């Protein structure tokens, strides 16, 4: 069930948008979706999980709308999530005690 195909146009848009997220900041699936004119955050997530260039293409800088860590590598908890958290922390993103991202680390595309 893995894909061995070149990236689609949709995926290119998603990956391209990822590079606009500054280091130490995160955005949400919805925000990213708005930027590329897609109203389905789930579609975004699907593209991200298939990101063949992680973490050069920073799919780890995308979190869920409630500013929780979101998913990584197709999982919503476990080892991959742990790595995602460390990646973000390494970039300067700070986490609240409940595991949510500090609001000042949030990045909106229309800034």
Work out whether 19 is an interface residue with DNA (CB under 7 A).
Answer: no
CA–CA separation, 76 and 71 (whole Å): 4
Q: Is 59 among the catalytic positions?
A: yes
The residue ranges of DSSP E strands in 1-111, in sequence order, are 27-28, 62-63
Evaluate whether 44 touches 29 at the Cβ level (below 8 Å).
Answer: yes
Work out whether 45 is an interface residue with DNA (CB under 7 A).
Answer: yes
Q: For DNA, which residue of 21, 29, 88, 93 counts as binding (CB under 7 A)?
A: 29
Catalytic residue among 32, 59, 62, 93: 59
Work out whether 43 is an interface residue with DNA (CB under 7 A).
Answer: yes
Evaluate whether 24 touches 104 at the Cβ level (below 8 Å).
Answer: no
Q: What residues act catalytically?
A: 59
| Contact set with DNA (CB under 7 A) | 1, 3, 5, 8-11, 28-30, 38-43, 45-51, 59-60, 62, 64-66, 70-76
């Amino acid at each position: 069930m893995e894909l061995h195909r070149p990236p689609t146009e949709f995926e290119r848009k998603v990956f391209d948008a990822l590079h606009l997220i500054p280091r130490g900041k995160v955005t949400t699936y919805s925000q990213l979706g708005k930027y590329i004119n897609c109203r389905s955050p789930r579609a975004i997530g699907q593209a991200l999980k298939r990101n063949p260039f992680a973490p050069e293409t920073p799919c780890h800088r995308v979190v869920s709308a409630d500013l929780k860590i979101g998913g990584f590598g197709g999982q919503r908890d476990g080892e991959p999530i742990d790595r995602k958290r460390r990646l973000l922390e390494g970039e300067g993103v700070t986490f609240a005690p409940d595991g949510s991202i500090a609001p000042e680390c949030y990045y909106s595309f229309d800034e």
